Amino acid sequence: MVVSRPNTNRLHTPSLHPDLTRVEMMTVLGVSFTNTMSFAPHVTNVVGKTASSLYALKTLKTHGLCGQALWEVTQAVLVAQLLYASPAWSGFLKADETNKLQMVLNKAARYGFLPLSCTSTIDEMFESSDNTMFLAILHNPDHVLHFLLPPPKTTGHDLRKRGHGLTLTATQSSLVRKNFIQRMLYKDIY
C-alpha cells in the first residue's frame, strides 16, 4: 500500500514488485484504513459490531440486568469498541464518521444502557482518551512512544505554566497535523 493524499496525482508511485500485490485498504491491529488515510472502513466496521453488541445488551436487559451492572457491561462492551485505539485514528475522522459513532452512543443512552448522567459525547470521549495516553507518554520515559516526543524546551525566563514543556515543531502537512503526537503538542497552546 502506498499512502498518499486523496487528491494527488499518483504518477510518481513506486513501481510494482512482481511478488507483491498493492492494496487500497489495510487492517492493522483491528483498525482499518485506506491508502489515503481514511478511516471510514474502520468506522463502518465498528458500527456494525456495535449493532450486535446492542442486541446482546437488550437481551441482558430483558433477562433482568439493570442499573449499575448494565451500565458497567455497556462500558466494557460497547464503549470499549468505540474507543479502541482511538488516539491513533480519531484525528483523521470526518464529521459524518464522527456522527455515526455518536449515533451509536445516543442509541445506547436511549435504550437505558448508559446512565442519564452520562452526557459525554464521542468527541469528549476521544479527548479524554487522547489526554490519558499523552500524559502516560509524557511522564513515563520508558513508554514505547516516548521517543517520538520532541526535546524539552529550555528557556532562561520564568514563563507561565504550559500543558507540556516540549519544543514545538513546524508542520506543513495537514496529514501530519492529524497525527496523535502533533495534535497533542498543539492542543491548548494559546
86: domain range?
Answer: 10-155+162-185
Q: What is the pLDDT of residue 128?
A: 94
Residue 3 lies in a domain: no
Q: Kindly state whether residue 127 falls inside one of the protein's structural domains.
A: yes
Asked whether residue 190 is domain-assigned, the answer is: no
pLDDT bin (cut points 50, 70, 90) of residue 95 is very high
List the beta bridge partners of residue 33. 26
* Domain contains 145: yes
The pLDDT score that the predictor gives to residue 5 is 65
pLDDT of residue 183: 87
As for how many domains the chain has, the answer is 1
| Residue 115: predicted pLDDT | 83
Residue 100 has pLDDT above 80, yes or no: yes
Confidence of residue 173 (pLDDT cuts 50, 70, 90): confident
Query: Which sign does the torsion angle of CA 41, 47, 48, 49 carry?
Result: positive
**pLDDT higher at 170 or 88:** 88
Cα gap 46→83, rounded to integer Å:
10
pLDDT digits (tens, 9 = 90+) for 102-154: 999 999 999 989 887 777 899 999 999 999 999 999 999 999 999 988 888 77
Among 170, 28, 132, residue whose Cα is nearest residue 182: 170
Whole-number mean pLDDT of the chain? 86
**What is the per-residue pLDDT for 24?**
85
Distance between CA atoms of 101 and 50, rounded to whole angstroms? Answer: 9
pLDDT greater than 80 at residue 185 = yes
1 lies in some domain = no
Asked if 49 and 32 count as a contact pair (C-beta separation under 8 A), the reply is: no
Q: Rounded distance, CA 160 to CA 107, Å?
A: 43
Is 168 part of any domain? Answer: yes
Contact criterion met (CB below 8 Å) for 153 and 166: yes
pLDDT at 6: 65
Quick check: 56 pLDDT over 90? yes
